[in-house]
Chain A
Amino acid sequence: MNDTDIHTVVVATLKSIAPEIEENTLRDDLPLRAQVDLDSIDWLNFLVGLHERLGVDIPESDYGRLITLRDVIDYLGKARSRNSDS
């Protein structure tokens, strides 16, 4: 799965929680939670969705690294290649 595929899955997961978002206006270099109104339950459901679709279980200690959409995609890409290597 390459970056573009991960991007597609991430945006699809976001849409399942915030159906009103418009993908073409979503910037991957700006803080995600400022662009999409996600409270703590939404954020958790987002991470659960990513876990279901991509098999990556993100620990709480890593939340601080996931600010922009790009951060999320990069993190997931690295996590998945780690998973497939082991």
Chain B
Amino acid sequence: MIEFTLPSMGADMDEGTLLEWKIKAGDTVKKGQVVAVVDTSKAAVDIESWHDGTVLELIATPGDKIPVGTPMALLLAPGETPPATSAESARRASASATVAKRINVSPAARKYAQQHDVDLERVAGTGMQGAVTLKDVERFALARPAATVPEVPHERAVEMRRVIAAAMQRSKRDIPHYYVSETIPMGEALAWLTSANTTRSVVDRLLPAVLLLKAVAITLRRFPELNGFYRDDAFSHAEKVQVGVAISLRQGGLIAPALFDVESKPLQQVMRDLIDLVKRCRAGSLRSSELSEPTITVTDLGDRGSMEVFGVIYPPQVALVGFGRIAQRPWAQDGELKIMPSIKASLSADHRVSDGHRGALFLTELSETLQHPEEFER
């Protein structure tokens, strides 16, 4: 039997409110299928299943506030037979949990109790056979004196600010950042882009941003110490590069979901997917894998941004690439002064995992990659 838990949705989202189930008991589920919609401070997130299976029981109900990692449903693995009754299986699950007394507590209730410091022995159970349900624990927690219950912000904007603050604070507290920067000439890249765009209708036009994202993904292959996660005092390098794109939301706030497979997709596809991603971010509708899978983040402030940006790494990632606006700058070349469009790129990196020398090499190679945009589609 599989406990389907609410997956991580990025460092700054530790819980969500279930909006609706897309499955019911008895349904077959495939890995990657959207099974529920969960509301967070930043977006309504389509939760994807990590398993193939059949739905045995839905534990959470719409309206429930669910911490990440809490069981939401029970699934049977393919080929598995269901247990005698579901109450019996809940009892089996709670019996294996580390609680001193034998109390029947649903997995969701147990997790909530843990998070909110509730003594389960004091909670009256209203579930089957006196089992303690999530509602029972919530009711108990809310009835406690105000001092022990956290305030619930009402506006999404306030809540979003709070989660961003928590993530950024955690990043600066835990990650020893170092910074390197490089001014990258963009004459070649922009000439290639202009030429590529003359034959394209406005609907197919490529922006410099996709060249930057592609170049980062390609260059990152050779720098595994910048691509992965630092968790439990250890770094693990990620197999693939999944670039998180920092996107600012019109009503304020920031989100950095993954734009998948930038390395392997043709530029046209990257452009289409980027536009679609931005649209869904602004509409507040993303998939859980987009939030949990970025292995590095790129922040491109664009043509209305500043000259350069030194960003804050988004944990548990270990690096962040920042781009300022492309501007015409004086440039010395072959003993002559000319005007060159250029961009200031920066790397913020985790000094526990990499050193300045490697960080600097990454930027040098990134610059070199951007001098040959015609190679991107090979």
Residues of B190-219 at the interface with A, using a CB-CB cut-off of 8 Å, are: 194, 197-198, 201-203, 205, 207-209
Compute how far the CA of A45 lies from the CA of B207 in the bound complex, rounded to whole angstroms.
12
Q: How many residues of A contact B (CB 8 A)?
A: 19
Whether B201 lies near A40 (C-beta < 8 A) is: no
Given known pairs A39-B304, A60-B198, the reply for A44 and B250 (CB within 8 Å) is no
Q: How many residues of B contact A (CB 8 A)?
A: 20
Whether B303 lies near A45 (C-beta < 8 A) is: no
Confirm or deny: A64 has a beta carbon within 8 angstroms of a beta carbon on chain B. no
Confirm or deny: B302 has a beta carbon within 8 angstroms of a beta carbon on chain A. yes
Compute how far the CA of A40 lies from the CA of B343 in the bound complex, rounded to whole angstroms.
15
Whether A45 lies near B194 (C-beta < 8 A) is: no
Contact indicator per residue, chain B 253-292, by CB within 8 Å of chain A (1) or not (0): 0000000000000000000001100110000000000000
Give the residue name and chain of the B residue nearest to A34 (CB). B304
Q: A residues within 8 A CB of B201?
A: 51, 57
Report which of B194, B198, B251, B275 forms a contact with A44, defined as CB distance below 8 A. Answer: B275
Residue of B275, B303, B304 with most partner-chain A CB within 10 A: B304
Give the residue name and chain of the A residue nearest to B274 (CB). A41
Confirm or deny: A80 has a beta carbon within 8 angstroms of a beta carbon on chain B. no
Q: B residues within 8 A CB of A37?
A: 250, 304
Give the residue name and chain of the A residue nearest to B305 (CB). A39
Compute how far the CA of A44 lies from the CA of B302 in the bound complex, rounded to whole angstroms.
13
Whether B207 lies near A40 (C-beta < 8 A) is: yes
Report which of B203, B250, B251, B303 forms a contact with A40, defined as CB distance below 8 A. Answer: B303
CB distance from A81 to the nearest CB of B (A): 19
Compute how far the CA of A33 lies from the CA of B303 in the bound complex, rounded to whole angstroms.
11
Contact indicator per residue, chain A 21-50, by CB within 8 Å of chain B (1) or not (0): 000000000000100011111001101100
Report which of A45, A47, A51, A59 forms a contact with B275, defined as CB distance below 8 A. Answer: A45
Compute how far the CA of A40 lies from the CA of B248 in the bound complex, rounded to whole angstroms.
13
CB distance from A14 to the nearest CB of B (A): 13
Whether B205 lies near A60 (C-beta < 8 A) is: yes
Whether A41 lies near B205 (C-beta < 8 A) is: no
Compute how far the CA of A36 lies from the CA of B352 in the bound complex, rounded to whole angstroms.
42
Q: A residues within 8 A CB of B202?
A: 44, 47-48, 51, 57-58
Confirm or deny: A11 has a beta carbon within 8 angstroms of a beta carbon on chain B. no
Whether B304 lies near A41 (C-beta < 8 A) is: no
Q: B residues within 8 A CB of A58?
A: 202
Whether A48 lies near B304 (C-beta < 8 A) is: no
Confirm or deny: A72 has a beta carbon within 8 angstroms of a beta carbon on chain B. no
Q: A residues within 8 A CB of B203?
A: 48, 51
Given known pairs A51-B201, A51-B202, A57-B202, the reply for A41 and B207 (CB within 8 Å) is yes
Compute how far the CA of A61 lies from the CA of B209 in the bound complex, rounded to whole angstroms.
18
Compute how far the CA of A48 lies from the CA of B272 in the bound complex, rounded to whole angstroms.
12
Q: B residues within 8 A CB of A59?
A: 198
Given known pairs A37-B304, A39-B304, the reply for A44 and B205 (CB within 8 Å) is yes
Q: B residues within 8 A CB of A61?
A: 198
Give the residue name and chain of the A residue nearest to B193 (CB). A60
Give the residue name and chain of the B residue nearest to A46 (CB). B202
Give the residue name and chain of the B residue nearest to A19 (CB). B250
Q: B residues within 8 A CB of A39?
A: 248, 302-304
Whether B198 lies near A33 (C-beta < 8 A) is: no
Given known pairs A18-B250, A48-B203, A51-B203, the reply for A41 and B278 (CB within 8 Å) is yes
Whether A41 lies near B275 (C-beta < 8 A) is: yes
Confirm or deny: A20 has a beta carbon within 8 angstroms of a beta carbon on chain B. yes
Compute how far the CA of A60 lies from the CA of B202 in the bound complex, rounded to whole angstroms.
8
Whether B209 lies near A40 (C-beta < 8 A) is: yes
Given known pairs A44-B202, A45-B275, A48-B202, the reply for A20 and B209 (CB within 8 Å) is no
Compute how far the CA of A19 lies from the CA of B283 in the bound complex, rounded to whole angstroms.
11
CB distance from A40 to the nearest CB of B (A): 5
10 nearest interchain CB pairs? A39-B302, A47-B202, A51-B202, A60-B197, A40-B302, A41-B278, A57-B201, A40-B207, A57-B202, A48-B203
- Between A and B, 23 residue pairs with Cβ closer than 8 Å are A18-B250, A19-B250, A20-B250, A33-B304, A37-B250, A37-B304, A38-B304, A39-B302, A39-B303, A39-B304, A40-B208, A40-B302, A41-B207, A41-B275, A41-B278, A44-B202, A44-B275, A45-B279, A47-B202, A48-B203, A51-B202, A58-B202, A61-B198
